[in-house]
A and B are shown apart, each in its own frame.
Chain A
Amino acid sequence: MKTPTCSPETFSPLLRDGVDVYFNQGDEVTFVYLATRKRLYVACEGFLQDSLAWLTGRSTLTELLARLPQSENQSAQKKFLSFIDYLFGRGIVVDKDWINDLPFPPDYLLRLERHMNFLLDLCGTPDGVVSVQESVCSCTVGLVGVGAVGGWLCAVLPMMGFGKFILIDPAVVGPSSLSRHAFHRTDLVGMPKVQAAEAFIKAVDLSADVRTHQVAVIPETDLSLILGDASIIINTADEPYIGHLNIVLGRFAFRKGIPFFAGGGFDAHLGCAGELLVKGKTPCADCYSAYFKQAVADWKPVTHPVHFRRNSFGGLPTLAAFSAFSAAIALLRYFIDGSITSDRTELYFQAYKQEHFKISKRENCKFCNHP
């Protein structure tokens, strides 16, 4: 990676697009990082303030040094170099070719140019971007359930540069997939969902490594055979019963020491953002299950008079997609700085209000205490 001090002949300083610059009264300049709204106040001489307009990436550092006032050449050059180095270290200045210098294949960079720019705003430095994107690149996503929510994840995860997938779902694309599944097309009706999803992923990333299993996860399933090398497991399946699946998959993930994402988006949780569970950092799936069992302990619906209700629950594709996008964003947040919001959030369609449930680790959780 080029730096101002190591390679002034080739380093072309570019004021990062994600930073606004304000000239205050006196010697002070304020840099506003748009992604985080953080501000950096820097006192600097007038010629250094003026030089900020030069940082367009069109000239190398050596060429810019030649523009400095000749009379005080030596001292001005030192100050300018030091100023650029300081801004580089604060993630305000980058080299104009920073994206092309990232250690990823050219077609990957071409596709993800805007994504890398987004990451730069969040990570601050190209090195930070590399660190996050390498984690994304090397991650094998085990996706259990490729339906309404899982399908939209198959759209956005490749867009973010994820390229290794294990897709698990027993079902085939049906006519009613029309209003729910991202990958549905009329000519795909009858095709296993995992195959349709694989093609959908490869439309974004032809080189994606996708393994498919057209099976249901049931109590007898040997998860190590199908999810053994997953780096993260995402559950968006709700059959036979999502609470049970979350516990089975959550326990498996915790024992393996990998993150587990319990997706939302089903039945009464259409706008649920889901939750990322990580051993040692968050409550486990058992804790979540126990919390909600307790929360509704006093609420006892009568047995519904309609016995077969499976096909009668509703939803808009936008709500399933909201759950999927929330999951993808939560994963990226985790990859960036390890941060996790372990609340469960439900979106109410009526006024787009959110309800947050604060869930804590249960002291007497049998699984947390004896995984």
Chain B
Amino acid sequence: MKTPELTYPRLRPSVAMAPVHQTVDGILCDFFMGNTRVNRRFVIQQDLFECLKLLDGTKNASDVVNSVVGGKGDCDFLHKKLKSLLHVLREKNIVEDVKMAEISEADPRRRVLSFLGDFFPDYRLVEVQGRLQSAVVIICGIGGVGSWVAHFLCRSGVGHLVLIDPDVVQPSNLNRSLFPNKFGEKKVAVLSELLRSIDPHVRVDVQDSKIQGPNDLEKVVEVVLGSSIPPRRIVVVNCADEPNVDFTNDIIGSVCMPRHIPHVVAGGYNLHLGLMGPTVIPFRGPCLECVSMSLKKVSPDGFEEVRKLDRPLRKLGSLGPMVGLVSAFAANEAIRTILNGDRLQPALNGQRMEYDFFTGNIKTTGFERQANCKWCGHHGIYK
């Protein structure tokens, strides 16, 4: 793809430029990207530094050079140097073309686009937004976690959501789920109506039956694949924990792995510990079976040899903001997975994360692919 002309360059408004100190070759300069708190450093020659201070988007490069040199110096040479520098700074998401920026700023999701502008150059943002709009996210379970995930993805610009849940809205859902108080109505119907009231353009498909085995999910996935959506534009998010997350992970993994469909385990919360991830990009990192094998090798509580009191049907507690927090990361992972490429990748590919209620700290545990994994190992059934 040919890079569009940088006609009216401007320093991105969310980027701060700060000289650090003078070096032999020029000014060591920080470019602090406010959206992501990423700092990039360059040594900039003095005359170019003066040019950058004028990048307000109203002048082209020649005008900028003329303003700096004032007809006294070698305008052509400085112009060449500036164009070359602007090319580099544009690729590093520091400089943008004002015409491109105006397109983003006129969009109702301008905040999202500006944020993604920290990862993608200005001329790619329309395409990036298109990738979100054309992606399909299948959310298995829209209870505590799933309702939030759907909400976040809709607001972020994901264009097509598939909601799967058999339940109806109950008063006891309201301590952790984002449903209006339409008690007794199907959750999928209530949530799809809500999402359309947020964005009338979002496509929401629903299935109000339970996924009890791979066949149930396969049917949903095959319908999506049948509409010519490539597997890499589909993400399945597991927000279902009945009868338990291991069971639903098994189903999701067995459907997604052979079809090369990325999937995210939204997790949940094991009392105070909000669990998040992993994200699986099939065959580009550990799969859910690899993670499960790794977890079995670890014995964190030291009780492996001791009899445990069997207690079925436990009703564990939940806290609204913990559920929301887990969901926020699951939605982040779905977005990152849709946009997966050289500039942005899912952070939890092969990682699981825990949020500690008591400290607010996040702890990450990494996992490796297992050579003897029965799914993706050397002799794995999905290899």
Number of A-B contacts (CB under 8 A): 279
A345 interfacial contact with B, CB 8 Å: yes
A24 at the interface (CB under 8 A from B): yes
Give the Cβ gap from A344 to chain B, nearest Cβ, in Å: 11
Contact B111 A313 (CB under 8 A): yes
CA distance A330 to B360 in the complex (A): 8
Encode contact with B along A80-123: 1 for CB under 8 Å, 0 otherwise. 00000000000000000000000000010011111111111110
Are A159 and B172 in contact, CB atoms less than 8 angstroms apart? no
- B38 at interface (Cβ–Cβ under 8 A)? yes
Annotate B3-21 by CB proximity to A: 1 below 8 A, 0 otherwise.
Answer: 0000000111110111100
Cα separation A107 to B57 with both chains bound (whole Å): 57
The answer on a CB contact under 8 Å between B314 and A17 is yes
A306 touching B13 in the complex, CB below 8 Å, given contacts A318-B329, A322-B328: yes
In chain B, positions 324-363 with a C-beta closer than 8 Å to chain A are 324-325, 328-329, 331-332, 335, 347-348, 353, 357-362
Closest Cβ of chain B: how far from A51's Cβ, in Å?
11
A187 CA / B18 CA spacing, docked (Å): 43
How far, in Å, is B298 (CB) from chain A's closest CB? 15
- Partner of B328 from the list A30, A160, A176, A321 (CB cut-off 8 Å) is A321
User: Chain B 34-60 against A: per-residue CB contact (8 Å), 1 yes, 0 no?
Assistant: 111110000000000000111111000
B-contact bits for A52-90, CB 8 A (1 contact / 0 none): 110000000000000000000000000000000000000
Partner among A203, A313, A354 whose Cβ is within 8 Å of the Cβ of B181? A203
Closest to B318 in A: A114
- Return the chain B residue nearest A28 by Cβ: B306
| Pair B176/A114 contact, Cβ less than 8 Å | yes
Given A32-B301, A178-B199, A349-B332, does the pair A314, B35 have CB atoms closer than 8 Å? Answer: yes
Check if A111 sits within 8 Å of B175, measured CB to CB: yes
Are the CB atoms of A204 and B174 closer together than 8 Å? Answer: yes
Which residue of A has the minimal Cβ distance to B330? A318
Complex Cα spacing A204 to B16, Å: 41
**A332 in the interface (beta carbon within 8 A):** yes
**Most chain-B Cβ atoms within 10 A of its Cβ — which of A21, A118, A299, A353?**
A118
Size band of the B side of the interface? 35 or more
Cβ < 8 Å to A, chain B residues 356-378: 357-362, 364
Residues of A within 8 A of B329 (CB): 318, 352
Cα(A15)–Cα(B311), bound, Å: 9
Which residues of A295-317 have CB atoms within 8 Å of chain B's CB atoms? 299-307, 309, 311-317
Q: Which residues of B contact A303 (CB under 8 A)?
A: 53
CA distance in complex: A307, B199 (Å): 32
Q: A156 near B: Cβ within 8 Å?
A: yes
How far apart are the CA atoms of A322 and B148 in the complex, in Å? Answer: 12
Enumerate chain B residues within 8 angstroms of A330, measured Cβ to Cβ: 360
Q: A268-B34, A318-B328 are in contact. Are A18 and B175 (CB under 8 A)?
A: no
Q: Give Cα A160 to B319, complex, Å.
A: 7
In the bound complex, do residue B175 and residue A311 qualify as a contact, i.e. CB atoms below 8 Å apart?
no
Size of A's binding interface in residues, CB under 8 A? 93
Q: Which residues of A contact B176 (CB under 8 A)?
A: 114-115, 159
Question: Which listed residue (B155, B309, B348) contacts A317, Cβ 8 A?
Answer: B155
User: A326–B360 Cα gap in the complex (Å)?
Assistant: 7
Instruction: State the CA gap A186–B200 with chains docked (Å).
Output: 8
| C-alpha spacing A324/B328, complex, angstroms | 11
B318/A117 in contact, CB under 8 A: yes
How distant is A132 from chain B, measured CB to nearest CB, in Å?
12
Closest to A31 in B: B309
> In the complex where A301-B16, A314-B117 touch, is A325 in contact with B35 (Cβ < 8 A)?
no
Whether A152 sits at the interface, judged by CB under 8 Å, is yes
With beta carbons under 8 angstroms apart, the residue of A22, A270, A352 that contacts B35 is A270
Q: How far does the Cβ of B159 sit from chain A's closest Cβ, in whole Å?
A: 14
Instruction: Check A301 against B315 for contact (C-beta < 8 Å).
Output: no
B197 x A115 contact (CB < 8 A): no
Contact call A187/B197, Cβ cutoff below 8 A: yes
CB–CB B311/A178 < 8 A: no
Q: A127 on the interface (CB 8 Å rule)?
A: no
Minimum CB–CB distance for A49 against chain B, Å: 9
Set of chain B residues within 8 Å of A351, measured between Cβ atoms: 347
Interface residues of A in 7-49 (CB under 8 A from B): 15, 17-18, 20-25, 30, 32, 34-36
Binary contact track A183-201/B, C-beta < 8 Å → 1, others 0? 0111100000000000000
**Bound: A285/B331 CA distance, A:** 33
A160 touches B320 (CB 8 A): yes
The answer to whether B295 has its CB under 8 Å from any CB of chain A is no
Given the complex of chains A and B, what is the CA–CA distance between A42 and B59 in angstroms? 78
Cβ contact of A316, chosen from B34, B115, B180, cutoff 8 A: B115
By a beta-carbon cutoff of 8 Å, the part of chain B in contact with chain A is: 10-14, 16-19, 30, 32, 34-38, 52-57, 101, 105, 108-118, 151-152, 155-157, 171-172, 174-176, 178, 180-181, 197-200, 270-272, 301, 303, 306-309, 311, 314-322, 324-325, 328-329, 331-332, 335, 347-348, 353, 357-362, 364
13 CB-based A-B contacts, threshold 8 Å: A17-B311, A17-B316, A23-B306, A32-B303, A114-B315, A176-B109, A204-B174, A305-B11, A307-B56, A315-B114, A319-B328, A329-B319, A339-B358
Residues of A within 8 A of B (CB): 15, 17-18, 20-25, 30, 32, 34-36, 52-53, 107, 110-122, 152, 155-156, 159-160, 175-176, 178-180, 182, 184-187, 203-204, 206, 267-268, 270, 273, 299-307, 309, 311-319, 321-322, 324-326, 328-330, 332-333, 339, 341, 345-354
